[in-house]
Structure 1
């Protein structure tokens, strides 16, 4: 099974350090300038600072992680240590909101979150870290700077009593990014659209994408992701050469997995994120909960979710893919 919704950064040593610190074992890993023409080469090469912000979660409870009202990571098992790259969802410097939502454990007898599900004792508590790195492929760690774990920890408190779910929110200061992209910052507020009308439009867009992928028209689909890819190249400091390689690799993977294998879009829930600016369809329950409803399944049973987040630019009557 694969979930391609969220772009993560594989910091193996960082994860190991966190596991040792908290006595937890690592579990499975889930799956451009703003206006005018984007100078990707300039952004990738001339920026002396290639700061990448990350969030690392250690938890033995199911959780969902949100950045600026966008679901960027989730895990519904009982043991996870995972690092998520934030840059794909950071449009620029400034104050941003990071939120974690803890959910009831699978074996909860009353489907409630107990205080001990968040902090069992002082030596067995869950952690979340917000930090920044400078990626360096030549370094064994994968990044070149030292991380101050004490200063990067966001303090988690246990609920005073059992609750249906438990949320904590932090305002984090992002100030070292060398870029600014438009993303969905100037998009229409979709919450102002009639919900039934909006859902009909979103389902129609998803159905069109499903038909393109099912018929093997991968290039046509990838053209719809041009704006997304351009911005992701900027925020992840991807060179034009590497971008071409990524494009070809994605195309080959989709040609292998999608034609003839796309599943019906018949079990979904519409979710609006980004304070009304983003929308998608997700699977609402089961083992594929919160996977994007654009699913392929090969005859051998390989299941893949092709994540897309849509926005509608101001003045436009059509959606545009802006993130995974």
Structure 2
């Protein structure tokens, strides 16, 4: 009888352990995607319509290129690690190629921005259920200004995931600036060499943390994620080999309250690699020339995990 009681207790314990409600293990990105219904795969976005140069910041991270007009939407899922309140900052600049040194009130008033969301059908690419939550109205000054800046607070409520990202990163703003810059430059030099050698496998290894989180906030299934990683490797091998320019004319930038670091081009250009106009100020410092003209940058946002001395690429 005692044996029967003992076996019954063991059975109950096993049943309890196998109950999903009692499991506290973290879900993988793949599991999270599979458990998120399509209608819940929400992407938050900032819609912009500006005929003069603008830069958009979200969660204290620059998410658009500087010094270029913007007539599109900029998705923010990659920079919102979880639901909560966030700051949007928009800067508007003079038109460098015209020789402007100020922004007029009329130019500022002509810019339009909204904060909203949508759901994308990953099979067809169609945009479903577009919503606008906030009109980011601009308070233009009465006279021309060297540049214009305004902030708003928005709330994100319906993300079906919670990412670690750089949340456990060290505060780089507390480090000695010269030592930090030396370390960030050294990492960029290493990545530049990998890209210039066309080493797609090494690039994929360096960006595996970024790729894993991108698959989650982009709602990629395993096949789509695998295809994306493969395409990125192929592009490095095909386009970057012996095409990366020297690391030069850069400045250190810190984002996300000091938890992210990168290098960006410091000065304006009127043309670059036989393309005019092309202003690469504010681009990531890792730049490859186009085969005929123009260029593309491989921007990397770096963080230092707690207890580590090695940078990790977490976003772009």
Same fold (TM over 0.5): yes
Q: Does 2:45 align with 1:63?
A: no
Q: Which runs of 5+ in 2 are unaligned?
A: 1-23, 270-278
Match of 2:105 among 112, 115, 135: 115
Map of 1:45 onto structure 2 = 34
Which sits farther off after the overlay, 91-100 or 285-294? 285-294
Q: Which has the larger radius of gyration?
A: 2
Match of 2:111 among 126, 135, 156: 126
Q: 1:74, CA displacement in angstroms?
A: 2.9
SS at match of 1:45: helix
In 2: Cα distance, 1:186 partner to 1:102 partner: 32
Q: 1:176, CA displacement in angstroms?
A: 0.3
Q: 1:64, CA displacement in angstroms?
A: 0.6
Q: 1:245, CA displacement in angstroms?
A: 0.5
Q: 1:110, CA displacement in angstroms?
A: 6.1
Higher relative contact order (CA 8 A, sep 6+): 1
Q: Tell me the alpha carbon deviations over residues 139-193 of structure 1, each in whole angstroms, 9 at most, x when there is no partner.
A: 67x2221434xx5322112113222211111100001000000111111111101
In 1: Cα distance, 2:291 partner to 2:155 partner: 47
Map of 1:260 onto structure 2 = 242
TM-score, normalized by length of structure 1? 0.81
Mark the CA change 1:306 to 1:74 in structure 2 (over 3 Å): closer, same or farther.
Answer: closer
SS at match of 1:61: strand
TM-score, normalized by length of structure 2? 0.83
SS at match of 1:318: coil
Mark the CA change 1:114 to 1:231 in structure 2 (over 3 Å): closer, same or farther.
Answer: same
In 2: Cα distance, 1:276 partner to 1:39 partner: 28
Q: 1:224, CA displacement in angstroms?
A: 1.3
Q: 1:298, CA displacement in angstroms?
A: 5.0
Aligned Cα root-mean-square deviation (Å): 2.1
In 1: Cα distance, 2:25 partner to 2:35 partner: 19
Mark the CA change 1:298 to 1:152 in structure 2 (over 3 Å): closer, same or farther.
Answer: closer
Q: Tell me the alpha carbon deviations over residues 49-76 of structure 1, each in whole angstroms, 9 at most, x when there is no partner.
A: 1111010111122111000111001352
Map of 1:318 onto structure 2 = 310
In 2: Cα distance, 1:307 partner to 1:74 partner: 11
Q: 1:297, CA displacement in angstroms?
A: 2.0
